[in-house]
Structure 1
Amino acid sequence: MSAAVLHPFQAELRATLRLAGPLALANLLQMAVFATDVMFVARLGQQALAASSLAVALIAVLMMGLNGVTGACAPLIAADIGRRSNAVREVRRSTRMALWLAVALGLAGIGLCQFATGFMLATGQEPELAREGGKFLGILSVAMLPMAVANVLRTFVSAMGRPVFATVITALSILVNIAGDYALVFGHFGAPRLELTGAAIASIITASSTVVAYVVAILTDRRLRRFHVFGRWWRPEWHRLRRMLVLGLPISGTLIAEGGLFSGAAFVMGRVGEAQLAAHTVALQIAAFAFQVPFGIGQAATIRVGYHYGAGNREGVGHAGWASIAVGMTFMSVSALAMFTMPRLILSAYVDVSDQANAAMVGYALSYLFIAAIFQLTDGLQAVAAGVLRGIQDTRVPMLIALTGYWLAGFATSVALGLFTRLGGVGVWIGLAVGLTVAAALLVARWHRRGHFAGLAAA
């Protein structure tokens, strides 16, 4: 059957898969970059893994917030293209202002990370863990600047119909990161053995090489080159910058609320016990790995819905949104089944499950993975629903929903059950499930009622 005679929903489903596939794969590959760090650091011992997890928990929240602001260029670019396919000037302005924000916020993030040790101590972490984690984060934070720039360039190439560039570049970054970790963490290839410091330096090298790769790709591709996104980089576009902040700050608040839920859980887990924190780190890596697919679908949904929103196509907006949700739910059903049926096999990719020294950590991790399997559907649903709402440039109410779901419901439950009952770490993970479920239900309800606030018919 040709695309010309497909039902509009089926056609949109295909278009969403074509865009979401490379983006989801790029997200999975990015998680593989992070996973290689965990695998190398885990071999330095439980304390090194716990210390690095505290640092990564903090920088993850900061990067989510930063990428939320700069990521507002995605719905803006998509809407401009939807209104006029040859919107070269508008796309260039949005990308340029997003790069400005990436540099400014990246530098601010580096400055904040220098106070990490004091923050960790203030949250009740063990002094040695806080000192080691703070030192690690102080170096790792330098990677925030190139990571922020790379995220903007990735958004640009994806919105321009070149998402495969993100996939290829991220795949290459895995090789760079593995080589850097192998050389600098354990002292191979004639490099000094730097352990945690080496892992941080390897991350900086990887992020910087990723930016270089995107620049080369943009300058060598005929379609991308004509936008001249690096031309007149010093020229401000204040109206576009203000619009990006209006949309981006609530997106940032939403992502910080979500990331803060998981990072906050890590700090709660640090007070429960070191073995529980190490198990939480590994289990969360696995859950986060699966989450990258619906997150990529949500990114694609923002662009697909944004195209139709800019064109004033009400029916297209509805088809694009529901198609994205259907794709996300299908995948998360598969990932939930995998976690239910083979948790030990999945866990063995990160730690030696047969080593008696890891017995306690493995036991805790298996319990957490069981809960993760339960909340896979709602985790994916909230990610895609947030993406489709961004496509119609609805960001303020979703931010309030995130704060309500993740913190008033989720984090409060984690603290109550984790610190004041015998459930301990399991209680913390029950709180994560509660927060994700509440947020998912409210976001889908918001999407269903979009015609009441966005001038759209309920298609």
Structure 2
Amino acid sequence: MTPQMTHTQHLRAILVLGLPLIGSHVAQFAIWLIDAVMLGWYDVQALAAQVIAGMVFFVLFIMGSGFAWAVMPMVAEAEAAGDTTQVRRYTRMAMWISMLFGLLVLPVMIWAEAVLYALGQSPEVVALGADYLRVAGWGIFPALLVMVLKSYLAALERTRVVLWVTLSAVAVNALVNYVLIFGHWGAPEMGIVGAAVASVAVQVVSGVLMALYAAVATAEHELFVRFWRPDWEAFGKVFRLGWPIGITNLAEVGLFAAASTMMGWLGTIPLAAHGIALQIASLTFMVHLGLSNAATIRAGRALGRVNRAELVRGAQVVLALSLGMALLTVVTFLSVPELLMGLFLSPDEPQRDAVIALGVPLLAAAAVFQLADASQVMALGLLRGVQDTRVPMVIAAISYWVIGVPVSYGLGFGLDWQGPGVWIGLTVGLFLAGSFLMGRFWLHSVRKVPQG
């Protein structure tokens, strides 16, 4: 009988695996955070426009990323079997699908005015947001390429390069933003368009660095040799595995996008406050996302060993880590909300006090949904590790769109609770998703794995 790992051994293994993943996610999010901070210091209206325009980009990006995330389990399986041909086939076709997806959605961003008006935004926000997306939209191609290569390298357990490339991207983004948003060092003052240029520059640099590393360090896979040749069998496999992941991600991101849209209906100041509070909450979420990735890998290994006891013990440890971080976040959000909100606004901003006043109750709601948000992403990580993805997709869609969005609208506008009502709706959707997904894992998926 295989010796069982102790809880301490599981903790050590999860931290060794999870900390670099957390660092990579935090660094990636820092790019978006820097945009928000610098635009908030530049102009509140520019910040509001970037919130709504960035939401459009991110919704499309996260949907396309489903095909990139499908690479991880497929490449890991092929690599374990020593089949380098399959590694190349899956990764290359994931890049193909990602680029085709980029071509499909690029027109939406180039001609974004109609989309932003359809979302009920003010003419000022629409004009600035459209200017942002006309430039930032071109970054969808390198951004999706980076996602595919990150999944490919992570499956090969080459995570350090992913972290270092992401950290380099943060530095490039901060520098280019500083120069182009404010017009320093002789550069033109471009405002929100400068932020868009910086985003594309970062994505291009990241894509080039990742591709060069993959071509040199994993030359045996010949990823870019005869890249133009189609492989329809591999194309179909990646597509079939990737679309449920993309839809699941879209359902959650769509919930937050709907909330951003509704906050935009309330005005520029509420939208800016919402954007800042959401950036703060999203930063702490990166920790849970990294732990969720580690949970996927640990659960997948337990499944491969046909060992239910290891699966259960590893799940208990990673969930305890996530819960501890969530509780720490709750205390922080409730203790110093004004300080956190104020970091995103210039002391000289005339509307600073109004934005902070609206943001404080939003952070209180965020403190509550931290627990629910952590629960749902951890459950998804565990479920993907045991290859259970179709039912979670349905659970996510119902929790977020059938229940979460209507509750946000009903409380925010029907009962006129405005911003806090919209955010309570977010919490309801996340709570239901977390509860049902956790139930799916513990009552169904775990039982399908033999005792070992």
Would you say same fold, with TM above 0.5? yes
**Are 1:59 and 2:57 an aligned pair?**
yes
Aligned ranges 1:3-152 → 2 under 5 Å: 7-81=5-79, 84=80, 86-152=82-148
Q: Distance in 1 between the 2:239 and 2:10 partners?
A: 30
- Of 305, 327, 338, 2:332 maps to 338
CA shift, 1:167, in A, is: 1.4
Deviations 1:45-67 (A, max 9, x none): 22111111110111111111011
Paired letter, 1:294: H
**TM-score scaled to structure 1, two decimals?**
0.92
CA contact (8 A) 2:173 2:202 kept: yes
Compared with structure 1, are the counterparts of its residues 426 and 185 closer, same or farther at alpha carbon in structure 2 (3 Å cutoff)? same
Q: Which residue of 2 aligns with 1:394?
A: 388
Aligned ranges 1:9-408 → 2 under 5 Å: 9-81=7-79, 84=80, 86-221=82-217, 224-310=218-304, 312-352=306-346, 357-408=351-402
CA contact (8 A) 1:450 1:456 kept: no
- Of 450, 456, 459, 2:449 maps to 456
Paired letter, 2:36: V
Compared with structure 1, are the counterparts of its residues 445 and 376 closer, same or farther at alpha carbon in structure 2 (3 Å cutoff)? same
CA contact (8 A) 2:48 2:271 kept: yes
Paired letter, 2:439: A
CA shift, 1:193, in A, is: 1.7
CA contact (8 A) 2:41 2:346 kept: no
Compared with structure 1, are the counterparts of its residues 403 and 370 closer, same or farther at alpha carbon in structure 2 (3 Å cutoff)? same
CA shift, 1:92, in A, is: 2.3
| SS of aligned partner of 1:351 | coil
| SS of aligned partner of 1:229 | coil
Deviations 1:258-299 (A, max 9, x none): 001111101101111221111000000000011111112222
| SS of aligned partner of 1:449 | helix
| SS of aligned partner of 2:351 | helix
**Are 1:420 and 2:401 an aligned pair?**
no
Identity %: 33
Aligned CA RMSD, in angstroms, stands at 2.2
Q: Distance in 2 between the 1:245 and 1:316 partners?
A: 31
CA contact (8 A) 1:98 1:152 kept: yes
CA shift, 1:220, in A, is: 4.3
Compared with structure 1, are the counterparts of its residues 26 and 273 closer, same or farther at alpha carbon in structure 2 (3 Å cutoff)? same
Compared with structure 1, are the counterparts of its residues 367 and 432 closer, same or farther at alpha carbon in structure 2 (3 Å cutoff)? same
Paired letter, 1:282: I
Q: Distance in 1 between the 2:231 and 2:177 partners?
A: 40
Deviations 1:353-379 (A, max 9, x none): 686531111011111011111111111
Unaligned runs of 5+ in 2: none
Paired letter, 1:36: I
Q: Distance in 1 between the 2:95 and 2:306 partners?
A: 28
Compared with structure 1, are the counterparts of its residues 353 and 380 closer, same or farther at alpha carbon in structure 2 (3 Å cutoff)? farther
**Are 1:443 and 2:434 an aligned pair?**
no
Q: Distance in 2 between the 1:458 and 1:308 partners?
A: 10
CA contact (8 A) 1:254 1:398 kept: yes
Deviations 1:385-422 (A, max 9, x none): 11121122221111111111111221111111111223
Deviations 1:154-180 (A, max 9, x none): 111112112122211111111111111
Aligned length: 451
Compared with structure 1, are the counterparts of its residues 72 and 416 closer, same or farther at alpha carbon in structure 2 (3 Å cutoff)? same
CA contact (8 A) 2:330 2:368 kept: yes
CA contact (8 A) 1:125 1:271 kept: yes
Q: Distance in 2 between the 1:458 and 1:425 partners?
A: 48
Instruction: Choose 120-129 or 63-72, whichever is displaced more.
Output: 120-129
CA contact (8 A) 1:30 1:174 kept: yes
Unaligned runs of 5+ in 1: none
Paired letter, 2:172: V
CA shift, 1:106, in A, is: 1.9
Q: Distance in 2 between the 1:114 and 1:404 partners?
A: 31
CA contact (8 A) 1:78 1:303 kept: no
| SS of aligned partner of 1:133 | helix
Paired letter, 2:150: R
**TM-score scaled to structure 2, two decimals?**
0.93
Q: Distance in 2 between the 1:255 and 1:78 partners?
A: 21
CA shift, 1:107, in A, is: 2.1
Compared with structure 1, are the counterparts of its residues 382 and 123 closer, same or farther at alpha carbon in structure 2 (3 Å cutoff)? same
Instruction: Choose 37-46 or 53-62, whichever is displaced more.
Output: 37-46
Compared with structure 1, are the counterparts of its residues 333 and 35 closer, same or farther at alpha carbon in structure 2 (3 Å cutoff)? same
Q: Distance in 2 between the 1:89 and 1:451 partners?
A: 31
Compared with structure 1, are the counterparts of its residues 47 and 15 closer, same or farther at alpha carbon in structure 2 (3 Å cutoff)? same
Instruction: Choose 53-62 or 294-303, whichever is displaced more.
Output: 294-303
Compared with structure 1, are the counterparts of its residues 185 and 458 closer, same or farther at alpha carbon in structure 2 (3 Å cutoff)? farther
CA contact (8 A) 1:410 1:435 kept: yes
